[in-house]
Chains A and B, each alone.
Chain A
Amino acid sequence: MNSRTRILGFLIGISSLVPSTGCERDLFNANEVGVVVVDAVLRVDARFPAIRVGRTLDPTQPFDPVAAVEENADVRITGDGMELFYVRSPDQRGVYVPGDPAALVMPDTMYELRVLTADDELITARTRTPPRVGAIDWLVLNDDGTEVVGEFTHFEDVGDQVYEDNQVVYSDGLLEARFARDLSDPRQIAYEVGLFSLDLDSDFVIDPEFFDEEDFDDLDRIISSPMFVAEEGEIRLPWLAIYFAGRYKFYVYSVDRNWFDLVRSLPEAEAGFTVGGNTGDGFDRPLFHVEGGIGLFGSASVDSIGLTVLPRDP
């Protein structure tokens, strides 16, 4: 056998393997369609919230919020020596509202959610509400973060006057929330920040040269942060989360274990490159802490601040 024959044999041999590789991959394994989804978040010192009950849908089809609702479920929350029955919302399908609208969520209390569907599926979940978040000092630091150059006023003190009092120029200084943090207290688990732009027609404060027109369209006025443990009782709020001028309301949530685990384990927005892993590893199942279904039964204590963001001088 000469070299030419061997090369030919090599190429024919390997090419015979190639057709056997032409199968399809299954991007979906739709074996969890119809699982009950509960969605309930308690806020300390607030009234018991509406609870959504739904079901998972076929992943190969576009999401249909109407098709996802679960009606005729028996929903109740027990805890703190009381049992709160929920009723179907007259306005929204798949939403259940508390039978006693005046009932308040207490801090540091264990609550259990119990959902019994019309098909006798029982879904349960438990949350221990965090203690009250306490007083938060909202500060403006210098650009190096070494010196406090301003302090925000609070809703409790001046009401909506905060938007007049607390005015900052975009990217001028650093924004920081400071609060009492006890790392030894197992009830103080982690913190999340929610940002709400209140002036829905306000202008952009950013103008990066590399943004296209459609990039601006994708920017959100309502944003949530990742999880912080804030070991020293400090959360520094980055300017990169603010795109628009105008009034903002910031919420700081001291969250329970269920909320913390779910948010930190949700698949990343770009579930491709994951630091410390192989590509695709970011698409992993979240931690739900729900028996008999998926979803969230979480709780948090909360404080908020209002401020106005002014654009930089051109």
Chain B
Amino acid sequence: MFPKVRMAILGWIACLLVTLSSNVHAANLAGVVVDDEDNAPLAFCVVAITSTDTGNVDQSVLTRTDGGFTVTDLPPGRYELKFSYIGYDSLTLPIALTGQDEPLVVRMVVKAIEMEEQVVFGDRDQVEEEVQAGFVKLTSDDLASIPAIGEADPIRALQLLPGVQAASDISSGLYVRGGGPDQNLVLLDQVPIYNPTHAFGLFSTFNPAMVDQVTLFKGAYPAEYGGRLGSVLDVRSRGNTANEVSGRVGISTIAARAQVEGPLAGGTWSLGGRRTYLDPILNALRRNNSEIPSYYFYDGNAKYTLPRGNNKFEFWLYRSNDVLRVEPDPDTFLNLTWGNTIASSAWTRVIGERVVANVVGSWSRYRSDSDFQVLTTPISIENELNDVSGQASLSVALPPHHRLKLGVAASTYRFEFLQSFNRDVDVDFDRRPKEYSVYAEDLWRPRPETTLRLGARARFLDDGNRRLVEPRLSLRQKINDQWQVKAAGGLYYQYLQLVSTEGFAAADFYLPIDDTTDPSRSVQSVLGLEWDAGGTWSAAVEGYYTDLQSLVLFDTEAPVDESQVDATTIFLTGGTGYATGAEVFIQKKKGRVTGWLGYTLGWTRRTFAEVNEGNEFAPKYDRRHDFKAVMSVSRGAWDFGFNFVYGTGQAFTPASAIFGLRDPATGLVPEFGEYLPAARNSARLLPYHRLDFSARREFSLFGLPARWQFQLFNAYSNRNDWFVQYNINDPGQLPDVVKQLPLIPSLGVEFEF
């Protein structure tokens, strides 16, 4: 064993021994935390005890489900208790422990919703407690204040942050720090959701009325998560804190949505739903033109939470579906449906004062069915992924400096892909791999200004008998009250591969990497410097570098009837690449004018032996400069929102020459020749820029609080370049530059009851 490693372990053990040996002449502290308004106990509230004599954080405990907490074995002295709870103002109480102390009753006040306050990262306490570099949190209020197309949308809001991009105006894919949507883990209430899009990618599947908060790990995410090379998007649905039935209803030009919540049998429930109502209009139009499609989507959420003593039980149901039908002719039609179904439950138990256990069982299904007929020839593609998973975790506070988190997870997948052409089954893929994971991480605060999180995740994939170990590290070092440095890094493997199609998300499907090729691997490193001047202004600079190995790329040139499906026939394998860059983020978090400025300087490259003649190339979403400005202004009952996005034009492949070559099967010479593509993505489209605007006003509707919102997406209607289409059947014509969305106005009304 290396001396340094041995010393570190000895030091670790010494810390634990010191902790144990310090439990002499101890005082106990007990209390209960309640809502100031209705005296409801607040479960899982964070109570941090800091010795004002030493300045050290001595302990951190969570309240039980009855709101109570107990801290034992504290040396008598002066302390500061800090209470933190989501949705409430943090509270700090100075106390002096004598050993004869009475129980405390701590009353917390619901955080005032300040309409002029646009909080992006949550409050300052949460930021300080968060050690993770590249971590972003958006609340439901943040989402509501950001201009969008018709509906507030979590994914589109995230696309306005530095380091996060959209491939196009109609894409809900997240391109985070040079990674594609296939490299993002998307979770809804801790459960993977495999196609988070509606309307071919124009919207995400998350009903804004049901979203409580959205967190994004841009990179170097902790050991608690796994399975993707790049980032983690964690969406949490709305919980219920009210003691009576309440809800909200919203109508926009796209869809109607509702959310209702209330108490039931000692617990709380919440229901939400959303549906488009374009189909009656389309149906009316179709009477005169059979080429008009029939289309709608819907999604629904249900959640029930039942606290019982030190236990909390939660149940979720979620379903989304998109349905498209086009029948221009009896011999030619298209039926397309796709959607997700999730059922999950969780049990959380507080054990003593220092341990929280959590067990989650879930089933997540994504299915898409494409049923075509083209001039009497039937074509069918059925794609289904079932993921049945169980996971358990244990959070253990080890005073004074450590908090351990241990977890296990097991997933069994079933991938089914059936493709038939002309009633001939071309591909019949049915694979049922299993994956097992364990992880451990230690949040260590050796000094008040230093926080270190060390973790590792080990995975076993039965497909290929692969054993993968992924170390993770996060570090925060405060320089002074205003400045801090963050660093993070880790090793990540990706086994499930998403084949995603920009602009046609209905065709998304997942496939596992099998024993014919290695799982993709990334090594991420992030270094950042943050500044926060007392909670109003903050700024951050982060640099990142991600090394990518064993990448795969869907082989679009494989023969159409390739049925012996394994990873090497589906994908081009053995790719490498990197993504690097720096982000600047300046934010004003309080006041009547809030918002942020974000800038990213980035490079992304890929290399595949079979692409671009083996030479390195930039993927389409490589963007050298990316600037975003988001501003929210509050004036009385009015709120105004502005977004501005500017970015380097996307990469595309230009034509380098024109040539004539006979079709070898027919001997025909193309009359107009054919374009010769140049090096892949060796040119750039015009820079992208767009301004969005929203105006929102509060009013009273039959005595109920209500608001209406007017939005302009792409306010000056700049038709940004989307892609270039070289008409190879007629190269005499100039190529078409296909444009993105023009100005799209929308109007919506929402009221609460």
Contacts and interface: CB of A to CB of B under 8 A. Distances in A.
B424 A284 contact: no
A97 to B, nearest CB: 15
Given A29-B656, A240-B377, A285-B612, 14 more contacts: A25-B686, A29-B683, A32-B657, A62-B731, A63-B672, A63-B732, A224-B666, A228-B559, A266-B674, A267-B728, A272-B725, A280-B620, A283-B653, A285-B680
A123 to B, nearest CB: 13
Contacts of A222: 666, 668
B686 A174 contact: no
A134 interface: no
A210 B377 contact: no
Chain B, interface size category, equals 35 or more
Nearest to B731: A63
Interface of B is mostly: loop
A262 B663 CA distance: 10
Contacts of A255: 664
A155 interface: no
A10 B421 contact: no
B657 A264 contact: no
Contacts of A209: 290, 328-329
Interface in B665-687: 665-666, 668-680, 682-687
A169 to B, nearest CB: 11
B721 A27 contact: no
A264 B557 contact: yes
A6 B405 CA distance: 46
B501 A283 contact: no
A6 B633 contact: yes
Contacts of B671: 63
B562 interface: yes
Contacts of B678: 29, 31-32, 285
A183 to B, nearest CB: 8
B686 A208 contact: no
Chain A, interface size category, equals 35 or more
B368 to A, nearest CB: 12
A234 to B, nearest CB: 7
A17 B689 contact: yes
Contacts of B734: 27
Given A59-B656, A59-B658, A263-B664, A277 B328 contact: no
B388 interface: no
Contact of B424 (A194, A236, A298): A236
B327 to A, nearest CB: 10
B556 A281 contact: yes
B174 to A, nearest CB: 14
Contacts of A27: 654-655, 683, 724, 734-735, 737
A212 B531 CA distance: 64
25 contacts: A3-B633, A6-B631, A7-B633, A14-B691, A21-B646, A24-B686, A26-B683, A27-B737, A28-B656, A32-B676, A41-B664, A63-B670, A63-B732, A68-B659, A68-B673, A174-B423, A174-B424, A183-B564, A208-B328, A208-B329, A208-B375, A240-B374, A262-B664, A265-B557, A285-B612
B731 A7 contact: no
B649 interface: yes
A30 to B, nearest CB: 6
A26 B376 CA distance: 42
A171 B330 CA distance: 13
Interface string A205-216: 010111000000
Contact of A14 (B629, B674, B675): B629
Contacts of B279: none
A196 interface: yes
6 cross-chain pairs, A with B, having the tightest CB-CB distances, nearest first: A63-B673, A276-B554, A280-B723, A56-B657, A224-B665, A210-B328
Interface string B590-631: 001100000000000000000111000001110000010101
B105 interface: no
B649 A284 contact: no
B558 A35 contact: no
Contact of B640 (A7, A68, A229, A236): A7
Contacts of A236: 421-424
B501 A25 contact: no
Contacts of A65: 660, 669, 673
Contact of B682 (A29, A59, A269, A294): A29
B738 interface: yes
Nearest to A193: B665
Interface string B397-440: 00000000000000000000000011110000000000000000
Contact of A231 (B564, B653, B738): B564
Given A17-B627, A275-B507, A270 B725 contact: yes
A41 B663 CA distance: 10
Contacts of A265: 557
A158 interface: no
A62 B672 contact: yes
